[in-house]
Amino acid sequence: MTKVLQDGQSLTLALDHALKSVESAQDKAFVQAISYGVCRTYHRLDFILNALIDKPLKSLEVKSLILIGLYQLKYMRVKPHAAVSETVQAARKIVWAKALINAVLRGYLRKQDDLEQQADEFKTAALSHPNWLIKKIEHDWPKQVETILLENNQPPPMALRVNLTKTTRDDYLQLLIEQNLAANAADFTATGIILDKPVPIEALPKFADGWVSVQDGAAQLAAELLDARPGQRVLDVCAAPGGKTAHILEQQPDIGEMVAVDIDESRMLRVSENLQRLGLQAKLIVADAAKTDDWWDGKPFDRILLDAPCSATGVIRRHPDIKLLRKETDIAALTILQKTILNAIWPLLASGGMLLYATCSVLKKENEEQIQDFLSTHNDAIELPITSDEWGIPGICGRQILTGESSMDGFYYARLVKQ
**Both 275 and 356 in a single domain?**
yes
pLDDT of residue 390: 87
pLDDT of residue 2: 86
pLDDT of residue 263: 97
Instruction: Say which residues have a Cβ less than 8 Å from residue 306's Cβ, sequence separation at least 6.
Output: 237, 238, 341, 342, 345, 355, 356, 357, 358
- Verify cis geometry, omega within 30 degrees of 0, for the bond prior to 198: no
> For residue 410, what is the DSSP state?
P
Active site residues: 360
pLDDT in tens, the chain (419 residues): 888 998 899 999 999 998 988 889 898 999 999 999 999 999 999 999 999 999 989 999 999 999 999 999 999 999 999 999 999 999 988 989 999 999 999 999 999 999 999 999 999 999 999 999 999 999 999 999 999 999 999 999 999 999 999 999 999 999 999 999 999 999 999 999 999 999 999 999 999 999 999 999 999 999 999 999 999 999 999 999 999 999 999 999 999 999 999 999 999 999 999 999 999 999 999 999 999 999 999 999 999 999 999 999 999 999 999 999 999 999 999 999 999 999 999 999 999 999 999 999 999 999 999 999 999 999 999 999 998 888 999 999 999 999 999 999 999 999 999 99
**Both 37 and 183 in a single domain?**
no
Q: DSSP 3-state assignment of 345?
A: helix
* Number of domains the chain contains: 3
**Both 84 and 198 in a single domain?**
no
Residue 54 lies in a domain: yes
Residue 75 lies in a domain: yes
**Both 190 and 72 in a single domain?**
no
pLDDT of residue 332: 97
**Both 282 and 316 in a single domain?**
yes
Domain boundary among 214, 230, 248: 214
Residue 149 lies in a domain: no
Residue 231 lies in a domain: yes
Query: Rounded to whole angstroms, how far apart are CA atoms 14 and 8?
Result: 10
Residue 143 lies in a domain: no
CB distance 415 to 225 below 8 Å: yes
**Both 370 and 233 in a single domain?**
yes
Long-range contacts of 333-336 (CB under 8 A, 24+ apart): 334/309, 334/310, 334/366, 335/365, 335/366, 335/370
Instruction: Say which residues have a Cβ less than 8 Å from residue 37's Cβ, sequence separation at least 6.
Output: 71, 75, 76
> How many other CB atoms are found less than 10 A from the CB of residue 295?
13
Q: Which burial class, exposed, middle or buried, applies to 376 when counting CB atoms under 10 A from its CB (0-12, 13-18, 19+)?
A: exposed
pLDDT of residue 49: 98
pLDDT of residue 1: 84
**Both 232 and 379 in a single domain?**
yes
pLDDT of residue 202: 94
**Both 248 and 200 in a single domain?**
no
Residue 26 lies in a domain: yes
Domain boundary among 175, 195, 214: 214
pLDDT of residue 389: 80
Query: Rounded to whole angstroms, how far apart are CA atoms 313 and 95?
Result: 39
Domain boundary among 84, 106, 128: 128
**Both 324 and 392 in a single domain?**
yes
| Structural domain of 376 | 219-418
Residue 10 lies in a domain: yes
**Both 287 and 404 in a single domain?**
yes
Query: Rounded to whole angstroms, how far apart are CA atoms 371 and 398?
Result: 8
CATH of the domain at 110: 1.10.940.10
Residue 80 lies in a domain: yes
CATH of the domain at 402: 3.40.50.150
CATH of the domain at 200: 3.30.70.1170
**Both 344 and 364 in a single domain?**
yes
**Both 163 and 60 in a single domain?**
no
Pseudo-torsion of CA 60, 64, 66, 70, nearest 10°?
150
pLDDT of residue 209: 97
